[in-house]
Amino acid sequence: MKRSELLSRIFITVAVLGAVGAPLFVWARTPLIHAKVAEDGGWNPDVIQANAGEPLFLKLTSDDVVHGFAVGQMDMQSVDVLPGKVSNVTLTFDKPGIYTFFCTRWCGLNHWRMRGTIEVSGSPSDHEPALSEAAEPLYVTLGLDIDAPHDALVIPRSQPSAISGQQLAANLPIDLSTDYYRAYSPYQVFDELPNTSLTESQSWDVVAYIWQSNTTNESLSDGQQLYAQNCAACHGENGAGNGVFADDLAASGESSMQTMAGADQMTMQTPVDFTDPTRMLGASPALLQGKILRGGMGTGMPMWGSIFTEEQIWDLIAYLYSFQFDYHRGEAQ
Amino acid sequence: MELTRLPFLKSALKSRYSQLAVFIVMLVGYIFVILAGLIGTPVGSHNFSIVFVWIAWWAILILVAVPFFGRGWCAVCPIPLPGEWLQRGAVLNPPDKKPRWLNLRWPKFLRNIWLQNISFLLLALFSSVLLTTPNITGIVLAAMLFAAIGLSMIFERRAFCRYLCPVGGFIGLYSQTAPIELRIKDKQVCVVCDGKPCYNGASTVGLDVQRLNPPLSANSNTGYGCPWDVFPGGLTKNTYCGLCMECIRTCPHDNIAINLRPFSADLAKPSTRLDEAFKAFIMLGSAMIYAGVLLGPWGAFKDAAYNVGTSAWFIYATIFLAIIFAILPGFFWLMISLTSRPFAKHPFGAPIGRGVGVRKFASLTTALIPLGLMFWVAFSLSFVLTNATYILASLSDPLGLGWNLFGTANAVWQPMLTSILAPAQTLALVGGLIWSARTAQKAANEVKVSSVPVVIYCFITTLVMLGLLL
């Protein structure tokens, strides 16, 4: 064989092998986390390993629409994951435990199913308990059945005003403590108010005042932000249970639910209307905490326990009551 | 004007290395595109394979390569390279005396472009998925490469290119309009040439190299017989000459030239082949259907075209095929039979009937060749200019791994030159209409009928296309 022929053959072979090998090599060395709408599989991989105290570098890409990435129980800005683009995220976990990452963009009907876990290993330091050893939630301590009906038997005729309530409460022996506020529903507090000369409407104003004194403007605004990002898609910007997905959820009904294995038993319910006083005024903060922590168990309401911190949940609950109580009416202009 | 007189071009074409080098670069690119389709992001608009093949390559092919260089793409397409290496047992050396593989002749009944018509239609019917799904693009490109290799081992020469390639079919048809041709310089030289090494290969058919007159030069001694199964001495049209340049290297008499010529020179000699006539309808029809489905405002059509396998898609496919095989040709046939009698008596009293009708019909479809090409130009202008900015982004991050090689990975999608798009399309369509009208006159003269119905047909289809595009 002539040298030129041999060299040409070698050259073509090397070029072809290189053209196949080089892309495969760099591709295999760049692990990407792919995001797809939950119907198509959600996150892949959806379990990520990490070590406490060591930075974790993630490359995220979307295979379909715009998604977002955030890790629950962590103070982090959510990162947009764009179709065909790569977003870089660096995370450092202080405590070992199982963290949940989730989609932060309303990508589709089953948006809230887009979750995965980061398993952070390492020994917990003495003063900081591992994530899974978090304290028992209040609804468990109180022994509440969070699925039992909890309707308020009396509801106010107009929206109670906390400002008016503050003036009325001045001479009343009322309990403003956090423990009291969290354990009772507004209706229970209304019902147990000391027998006074207050009208029904005035009593509700006092309840509104008790609720207001257990929150701050900062909590309310944090709660509002959490609500807008995570709840409004179904429950609606104004809490009326008519978010952009509400109709779609209702329309898709069971077919949406059955995308999960074993979902035959599930029944679709419409998102709760937080502006409905019968329902909201009959619910204690502890009960709402339970519902948010655990989720709706087959109703389409996700569980948020692995995502929100305890403080975030209390902030969110404080905000939910603002659909019932007026914290500003009567304020000095 | 003979381009091969240019010393630089001539030596580049005579050398085996220059074209081989281009082939290797193209093959590497082709394989990379396949891999990018398979392992890159599934998001079509950001996947290198989709963007590079269906936007960049398509733009170059239909807006530049075909109109100006005819089969210029075939001259550099890497698909035949691996198969040809296997077939010849060599890259540069003369082929083995005894063929390595089956080396069969291509079956006679398939020596036409019907298979290419079918392969194009197969891709066309699935085009909405093919053009947007990187995996599928990767698989189709790989399948074409492997089909070419497989056919090289069964049949002689470039059977895939000549008879199966879905792209080669229409490039061939439209290459007749290109201002470039490969032709012999002096017919007499070919007539007396011993053994016709340009067709038979210098060493394959046991030519006694020493007894040839004149003896083969070292260069032509290594030459292969025409890979496209064409005898260069008989070339009158570009359609089946793949511009592989092999005969330029092989011809011992240096009798082959690349010429610059007026546009559409080949159309003065209308083809009477029905497979080519239908190729013209297929291309004309698919340009119109694409303009309606891909660019038009009708969501239902887009859905139907995209959801392959559904009943809506079957309806779409049926309409697609009906337009191409029944409506467009039927209307054309009606138009020409209005003014002429396709079954009239042959002037010499020879057998009449089908032959006359087919001949006229096929000849007159020549007018649809420039028309179809300009339809494609107008259609392609629109989606190429709309999507060209994707090329920048995917160049910087071809595998979708978050790279930014040229700093353009985050280039924002933005349609280009929107203000000149509609005028340019109109110009292309009107130009195409004039061009096809002139072609129709010549073709009508050949078969001695009036060109008016053909011109009216072209006018109506152009109006429809204008309506679909603007």
Residues 6+ apart with CB under 8 A from A149: none
Spatial distance between the Cα atoms of B369 and B346, rounded to a whole number of angstroms: 27
Whether A19 contacts B26, CB under 8 Å: no
Band (pLDDT 50/70/90 cuts) for residue A12 is very high
CB contact under 8 A, B400 and A86: yes
Nearest-Cα distance to chain A for B6, in Å, is: 26
Q: Is the pLDDT of residue A261 over 50?
A: no
The pLDDT mean for chain B works out to 88
Residue in A2, A16, A86 closest to B31 by CB: A16
B467 half-sphere exposure, CB direction, 13 A CA radius: 7
Quick one: CATH architecture of A135-333?
Answer: Orthogonal Bundle (1.10)
Q: What is the CATH number of domain A33-133?
A: 2.60.40.420
Nearest-Cα distance to chain A for B92, in Å, is: 6
Q: Is the pLDDT of residue B374 over 50?
A: yes
Band (pLDDT 50/70/90 cuts) for residue A259 is very low
Q: Does B45 touch chain A (CB under 8 A)?
A: yes
Tell me the per-residue pLDDT of B212-241, one tens digit each, with 9 for 90 and over: 666 656 566 778 889 999 999 999 999 999
Nearest-Cα distance to chain B for A190, in Å, is: 57
Token code pair at residue B341: 């009698």
Residue in A15, A24, A61 closest to B27 by CB: A15
Q: Which among B34, B35, B145, B224 is the top mutation candidate for probing chain A, defined by the most A β-carbons within 10 Å of its own β-carbon?
A: B35
SS3 of residue A28 by DSSP: helix
Q: Does B81 touch chain A (CB under 8 A)?
A: yes
Closest CA in chain B for residue A19: B28
Percent of all residues in chain B with a pLDDT value above 90, rounded to a whole number = 55
Return the DSSP state at A77.
-
Spatial distance between the Cα atoms of A36 and A45, rounded to a whole number of angstroms: 11
CB contact under 8 A, B24 and A12: yes
Provide, as residue numbers in chain A, all residues whose Cβ is less than 8 Å from the Cβ of B43: 62-64, 83-84
Closest CA in chain B for residue A87: B402
Nearest-Cα distance to chain B for A34, in Å, is: 9
Spatial distance between the Cα atoms of A141 and A131, rounded to a whole number of angstroms: 19
Is residue A180 packed enough to be buried (19+ CB in 10 Å), middle (13-18) or exposed (0-12)? middle
- Amino acid B268: pLDDT: 87
Q: Across the strands, what pairs with A70?
A: A102
Whether B252 contacts B217, CB under 8 Å: yes
Q: Does B21 touch chain A (CB under 8 A)?
A: no
Residue in A2, A20, A59 closest to B402 by CB: A59
Q: Does B191 touch chain A (CB under 8 A)?
A: no
Nearest-Cα distance to chain A for B282, in Å, is: 33
Residue in B36, B45, B397 closest to A23 by CB: B36
Token look-up 């603007």 returns B470
Chain A interface, Cβ < 8 Å to B: 1-2, 4-5, 8-9, 11-12, 15-16, 18-20, 23-24, 26-27, 30, 32, 59, 61-64, 83-88
CB contact under 8 A, A8 and B31: no
Interface of B with A in 402-461 (CB under 8 A): 402, 409-410
Provide, as residue numbers in chain A, all residues whose Cβ is less than 8 Å from the Cβ of B41: 61, 63, 83-84
Instruction: Enumerate the CATH 2.60.40.420 domain ranges in chain A, comma separated.
Output: 33-133
Provide, as residue numbers in chain A, all residues whose Cβ is less than 8 Å from the Cβ of B20: 8
Spatial distance between the Cα atoms of A324 and B59, rounded to a whole number of angstroms: 61
Q: Is the pLDDT of residue B443 over 50?
A: yes
- Amino acid B340: pLDDT: 62
Domains of chain B, residue spans: 1-268, 270-469
Token code pair at residue A188: 């229970």
Band (pLDDT 50/70/90 cuts) for residue A169 is confident
CA distances from A98 to A31, A72, A302, B39 (A): 21, 10, 18, 31
Token code pair at residue B111: 């020596």
Provide, as residue numbers in chain B, all residues whose Cβ is less than 8 Å from the Cβ of A88: 402
Residues 6+ apart with CB under 8 A from B277: B271, B329, B361, B362, B365
Query: H helices of A47-177, where?
Result: 138-141, 162-169
CA distances from B181 to A128, B1, B39 (A): 81, 10, 40
Spatial CA neighbour of B278 closest among B404, B366, B190, B183: B366
Instruction: Give the mean model confidence (pLDDT) for residues A185-210.
Output: 89
Tell me the per-residue pLDDT of B91-135, one tens digit each, with 9 for 90 and over: 888 777 777 888 889 999 999 999 999 999 999 999 889 999 999
Instruction: Enumerate the CATH 1.10.760.10 domain ranges in chain A, comma separated.
Output: 135-333
Percent of all residues in chain B with a pLDDT value above 70, rounded to a whole number = 92
Token look-up 């390559």 returns B57
Residue in A8, A20, A85 closest to B31 by CB: A20
Provide, as residue numbers in chain A, all residues whose Cβ is less than 8 Å from the Cβ of B85: 9, 12
Band (pLDDT 50/70/90 cuts) for residue B418 is confident
Token look-up 């070292």 returns B218
Whether A84 contacts A62, CB under 8 Å: yes
For every residue of chain B, which 3-state class applies, written as one string? Answer: CEHHHCHHHHHHHHCHHHHHHHHHHHHHHHHHHHHHHHHCCCCHHHCHHHHHHHHHHHHHHHHHHHHHHCCHHHHHCCCHHHHHHHHHCCCCCCCCCCCCCCCECCCHHHCCCHHHHHHHHHHHHCHHHHCCCHHHHHHHHHHHHHHHHHHHHHECCCHHHHHHCHHHHHHHHHHCCCCEEEEECCHHHHHHCCCCHHHHCCCCCCCCHHHCCCCCCHHHHCCCCCCCCCCHHHCCCCCCCCCCCHHHHHCCCCCEEEEECCCCHHHHCCCCCHHHHHHHHHHHHHHHHHHHHHCCCCHHHHHHHHCCCCHHHHHHHHHHHHHHHHHHHHHHHHHHHHHCCCCCCCCCCCCCCHHHHHHHHHHHHHHHHHHHHHHHHHHHHHHHHHHCHHHHHHHHCCCCCCCCCCCCCCCCCCCCCHHHHHHHHHHHHHHHHHHHHHHHHHHHHHCCCCCHHHHHHHHHHHHHHHHHHC
Spatial CA neighbour of B399 closest among A79, A65, A87, A85: A85
Residues 6+ apart with CB under 8 A from B425: B378, B381, B382, B469, B470
Instruction: Give the mean model confidence (pLDDT) for residues B180-189.
Output: 93
Phi-psi sector, B206: left (phi>0), alpha (psi -120 to 50), beta: left
Tell me the per-residue pLDDT of A29-46, one tens digit each, with 9 for 90 and over: 989 999 999 889 999 999
Closest CA in chain A for residue B390: A84
Residue in A11, A18, A63 closest to B41 by CB: A63
Nearest-Cα distance to chain A for B398, in Å, is: 10
Token code pair at residue B244: 């592989």
Spatial distance between the Cα atoms of B207 and A286, rounded to a whole number of angstroms: 98
- Amino acid A125: pLDDT: 63
Q: Is the pLDDT of residue A293 over 50?
A: yes
SS3 of residue A21 by DSSP: helix
Nearest-Cα distance to chain A for B69, in Å, is: 27
Spatial CA neighbour of B86 closest among A193, A303, A12: A12
Q: Does B31 touch chain A (CB under 8 A)?
A: yes
Preceding omega of A45 cis (within 30 degrees of 0): yes
State the amino acid at position B106 in one-letter form.
W
